[in-house]
Structure 1
Amino acid sequence: MRHATPAGIRSWLEGDRSRNLIALETERLQACLHRVPGYRILQIGRWGVPDDTLATCPMLCRWVADSQPDTPVDIRFDGRTLPLASGSLDAVVMPHSLELMPDPHRLLREVNRVLSDRGQVVLLGFNPYGPWALGQRLRRRGSGYPAADRLIALGRVRDWLQLLDFEVTEMRRFGPGCPWLPRSGVSLPSTAAYWLISGLAPAYLVTARKRVVPIRPIPNRWRVRRPALVGRGMPEPTARSGHSRRDAA
């Protein structure tokens, strides 16, 4: 079952080409989610991913958030700010969320905020240099395909993640329409020939992990030494107290 999406994309999702793409994306997502440790995961946006995609994830708590008013989700938000506490999630799945939300860079900063230490993010995106996007620019594919000016290149997504101090662990290009590519796509970096061929793939997947730098306390070498105490009894009276040692004897 698929839920409502923006009107410009809803009709495109019913086509054969989009169904083949969604099947490949679901396959790649499930393969990635089985390797992600943790207990709490959030999916931002419905796109066309089936409802049971997160059900195969071994995490205990699973939620879906979206900004569309007619989409049944667990969390409704404005597309910019997530109503979640900082460090409360172990993983975030974003199926084309950066392309459909009004402020993609701000949303990515929010994802960084709500992820815990060593939390991971899984991103799906369209290749703005692929044949589908080029056809959209030439107005040959109709209005169903996402607008080409909203698509974000793989290199830019990688740069955004690195600026937020993420460690990119996987970059993969895949999609139907490229008979020279295997079904699972091509993991980057790859050979020069596959790099050129994969440049025509309509979609990509990125996984990244938060990079936490451990803080080691610097020892204080200039600590002032306390003088050692001489004896454990009371100090002897001196002549200043009005008595001499001979008088005390």
Structure 2
Amino acid sequence: MSDRLIIDWPAWTASPAGRYVLGWEQEQLDRVVSNIFGYHALQLGLPQLDALRENRMSCRGLVLDAASAASAPYSVPGASAHSHPNGGQTPPEAGGATADRTPAAGGGSLLHAPAGRSTVWCDFLDLPFEAQSVDLIVMPHTLEFTSDPHRLLREAERVLMPEGQLLIVGFNSLSLWGARQSVGKLTGHPFLPARQDLIAFTRLKDWIKLLGFELERGRFGCYRPPLATDQWLGRYGFMEAAGDRWWPIFGAIYMVTAIKRVRGMRLVGPLKVKKPVLAASLKPAATTPSPTRNKDS
């Protein structure tokens, strides 16, 4: 798909359909990340969604890619603008990346991420983090904007610690929204802002299993038709409960949670050392009692 057919992602998230999708995603992410613990957490792309706001890790970072349409300039209420490209702080283990203060392409400036976060600008396909240094990575629609989704997944696997968790949010190609997107691409009027073709849930499962991840859970949502106004979206509100019960795999959005497993490594607790079994000792040979002397003799 050519660049001229890519819908502006920030503008789409402000539309009725975009607010509907982001509202569901924010609710699901808040519930899931609040129960994931560790030290380092990263969100890759989509600054319009605060995927880590309910997570309690001490080091949380927002990673953005200048080549991704989902990393468009954004603003955060209460933050101050900066223009120097090399200021700010990076999350632990980051190197060679621009952090926090980066000028926007249109002459404006990008603002800080929410309080308590760092912003790192880098190439998604070459993340500037050490191997096995991150406990949680969230990728909201990130795979749909990168030029090489499988390579990005390999990078996520590299930087995740053993037993680290990966959360992926994407548009479901097997849904009414996916069908409208396919028709829209043929006519030159796509409905969803995606640079690449939508990744089917079954295909994504195969990818993450090949990389050694174990699928922990999958969740579908947003069952209303792909409509452009709040009025029409509201009329189909009854489809949320019906879809979740009768056709769950056809939701417009899926969220996948996977855990990185390392072969040959298993936490088993303290090692119990068995005491060696001693061989049965030999019994002394029976001794013949010495004859007693006759007292009369």
- TM bucket normalised to smaller: 0.7 to 0.9
Q: Which runs of 5+ in 1 are unaligned?
A: 1-5, 187-192, 217-249
1:138 match: secondary structure: helix
CA contact (8 A) 1:20 1:176 kept: no
Q: Deviations over 1:185-241 (max 9, x none)?
A: 85xxxxxx73xx22331100000001123359xxxxxxxxxxxxxxxxxxxxxxxxx
Q: Which residue of 1 aligns with 2:197?
A: 150
How far apart, CA to CA, are the structure 2 residues paired with 1:100 and 1:113? 20
Q: What is the one-letter code of the residue matched to 1:29?
A: L
The count of aligned residue pairs is 200
Q: Which residue of 2 aligns with 1:29?
A: 29
Cα distance, 1:7 vs structure 2: 5.4
Q: Which residue of 2 aligns with 1:95?
A: 140
CA contact (8 A) 1:126 1:204 kept: yes
Q: TM-score, normalised by structure 1?
A: 0.72
How far apart, CA to CA, are the structure 1 residues paired with 2:188 and 2:250? 16
Pick the structure with more helix per residue.
1
2:241 match: secondary structure: coil
How far apart, CA to CA, are the structure 1 residues paired with 2:62 and 2:195? 26
Q: Which residue of 2 aligns with 1:133?
A: 178
CA contact (8 A) 2:130 2:159 kept: yes
How far apart, CA to CA, are the structure 2 residues paired with 1:151 and 1:67? 20
Q: Which residue of 2 aligns with 1:108?
A: 153
CA contact (8 A) 1:168 1:206 kept: yes
Q: Which residue of 1 aligns with 2:10?
A: 10
CA contact (8 A) 2:173 2:199 kept: yes
Alignment of 1:195-210 (within 5 A): 197-210=247-260
Cα distance, 1:15 vs structure 2: 1.2
Q: Which residue of 2 aligns with 1:48?
A: 48
Q: What is the one-letter code of the residue matched to 1:37?
A: F
Q: TM-score, normalised by structure 2?
A: 0.61
Q: What is the one-letter code of the residue matched to 2:164?
A: G
Structure 1 residues 148 and 203: alpha-carbon distance in aligned structure 2, compared to 1, 3 A threshold? farther
CA contact (8 A) 2:172 2:254 kept: yes
Q: What CA RMSD, in Å, does the superposition of the two structures yield over aligned residues?
A: 2.5
Question: How many percent identity over aligned positions?
Answer: 32
Q: What is the one-letter code of the residue matched to 2:21?
A: L
Q: Deviations over 1:111-164 (max 9, x none)?
A: 000001110001101011211221122228944512485210111111111101
Structure 1 residues 47 and 141: alpha-carbon distance in aligned structure 2, compared to 1, 3 A threshold? farther
Q: Which residue of 2 aligns with 1:58?
A: 56
Q: Which residue of 2 aligns with 1:124?
A: 169
Cα distance, 1:175 vs structure 2: 1.1
Moved more, 146-155 or 10-19: 146-155
Structure 1 residues 61 and 130: alpha-carbon distance in aligned structure 2, compared to 1, 3 A threshold? same
How far apart, CA to CA, are the structure 2 residues paired with 1:148 and 1:131? 19
